[in-house]
Structure 1
Amino acid sequence: MAVTLYGLPTSSSTGRVLTTLLEKEVSDFKFQHVDLSNGAHKKPSFLSMQPFGLIPVLQDGDLTLFESRAISRYIALKYENQGTPLYGRNMKEKAYVEQWLEVESQNFHPSASALVYQLSSRPKKGLKPEEEVVKQNVEKLERVLDVYEAQLSRNPYLAGDFFSLADLSHLPRTKSLIHSANIPHLFTARENVHKWWERISTRPSWEKVMEMASV
């Protein structure tokens, strides 16, 4: 039975899961478009799957799963014998992947999301960015990226010499930072971070997701 993913290609969280499916070469998954504009995500049928009314949601038989990072982990484990070994090749590598996944969710994502909101979402609503909030989150994110720069000076990817869920999970929000929030200098100013971004953002899986989002 094919898994079904409910979401929207333009959603960063949905993009994380779509990229995971493509990296794992899951060719028979079904994609169910959720029309946020008409409030489909707030209707009882959707809330029965995701009580917070957010996308994406994955259904696999009698399993219903939400939260994009949890879904990506599930996909990587279910299909671990095919496609890209996103969890590495042994327990030690898996431990490093989990470590850097936590860094992404706890250290990178909060400041990155705050900056996308301030520099992209607020102007679209006719609101000016809050300068102090921007300043604080740029400083926080730069500290995180300095740690990344040191780590990536030793390895081409965050968890080691292999592309993993830890790298993949950075794709949607980094893309928003560079293109929507228009602050690419945070990445280009750091040689190894810049090379890493060029390396992961040109993977065929991510390029396919970007094509899906532009249709």
Structure 2
Amino acid sequence: MSDAILTISSKNYSSWSLRGWLLCKMAGLDFTEQPVDLSHAASRQELLLLSPSVLVPRLSHDGVEIWDTLAIAEYLNEVFPEAHLWPRDRFRRAHCRAVSGEIHSGFYNLRSALPMNLKARHEKFKVFSGARPDVERIRTIWTECLESHGGPFLFGRPTVADAMYAPVCARFRTYAVDLPPALQAYCETIFDWPLMQEWTEGAMAEPDEIIELEVEF
């Protein structure tokens, strides 16, 4: 058994758990998944975006505990530099850090209006006005990255940015958010990514009654 443990919550609902898991897989870390008890109040708060201090995903490795997703990315980049989680080129690396930081600290309206639910599909869904600027900003970010770096991932090959935006692709699919062909192709790249498929299989295997969200998004 690996001495690394990644604590996660629901694979169907938790976007931050997905991000941390992708980063660990991309780095090549041998780790054990440790799901939290989803009946616990703190876990429910995390999924409902109500917790002031979200402690999942949490990586335990070599005596170190890291519970912030970008901190996990930086730690893994130090321990596994050969994985090149950030682009090698200085300019691309700065761009990647900027867009990754933006999704990490912003887009609250988008997360509230379009909560992650990999099992759900809506043929039509009206995005409330407060979240529309977030959607437009993400369209702009993706377009700039793909045009600047050539695709099929945001910086050519998988990086931290793709781990950060993979849950957004899932949200856009769940809620039928309209995308131009180039951006839809990026989402399909994410969906076809073996790591994303592995996570999705785990999400589909979760019991449907795993949690009942008690707020109106």
TM-score band, normalised by the shorter chain?
0.7 to 0.9
Whose helix proportion is higher, 1 or 2?
1
Residue number in structure 1 paired with 2:192: 202
Mark the CA change 1:212 to 1:75 in structure 2 (over 3 Å): closer, same or farther. Answer: farther
- Confirm or deny: 8 A CA contact 1:34 1:40 kept in the other structure: no
| Residue of structure 1 aligned with 2:132, choices 135, 138, 141 | 138
The equivalent residue for 1:161 is 156
CA distance 1:77–1:200, change in 2 (3 Å): farther
In the superposition, the TM-score normalised over structure 2's length comes to 0.72
Cα distance per residue 1:109-151 (max 9 Å; x no partner): 323203215x98xxxxxxxx9x8x8113113422441343244
Gaps of 5+ in 2: 45-50, 118-124, 206-217
- Distance across 1 between alignment mates of 2:168 and 2:74: 18
Match of 1:95 in 2: 94
Tell me the secondary structure at the aligned position of residue 143 of structure 2.
helix
Q: 1:39 to 1:211 in 2, by over 3 A?
A: same
Name the larger-Rg structure. Answer: 1
Residue 209 of structure 2 is matched in structure 1 by none
Change (3 A) 1:99 1:111: same
Over the matched positions of the two proteins, sequence identity in percent amounts to: 18
Letter in 2 for 1:93: R
Report the aligned-residue RMSD.
3.0
Within the candidate set 15, 21, 26, 2:24 is matched to: 21
Query: C-alpha offsets along residues 136-171 of structure 1, whole Å, 9 cap, x if unaligned?
Result: 311342244134324423421575333211122111
Aligned to 2:76: 75
Q: State the match for 1:175 in structure 2.
A: 170
Residue of structure 2 aligned with 1:114, choices 112, 115, 126:
112
Aligned-partner Cα distance in 1 for 2:154–2:171: 23
Q: Secondary structure at the match of 2:65?
A: strand
Say whether the 8 Å CA contact 2:73–2:85 is kept in structure 1. no
Q: What's 1:124 paired with? A: none
CA distance in 2 between partners of 1:21 and 1:194 (Å): 26
CA distance in 2 between partners of 1:74 and 1:24 (Å): 10
- 2:15 maps to which residue? 12
CA distance, structure 1, for counterparts of residue 154 and residue 78 of structure 2 = 17
Unpaired runs of 5+ residues, structure 1, are 43-49, 121-128
In structure 1, C-alpha distance between the alignment counterparts of 2:85 and 2:152, rounded to whole Å: 12
Write the distance in 2 (CA, Å) between the matches of 1:163 and 1:40. 32
Deviations 1:40-93 (A, max 9, x none): 759xxxxxxx993642211113211112232133223322224xx221224333
Determine the structure 2 residue equivalent to 1:31: 33
| Conservation of the 8 A alpha-carbon contact between 2:146 and 2:154 | no
Q: Normalising to structure 1: TM-score of the pair?
A: 0.73
Name the SS for the 2:60 alignment partner.
strand
2:152 and 2:189 in contact (8 A); partners too: no
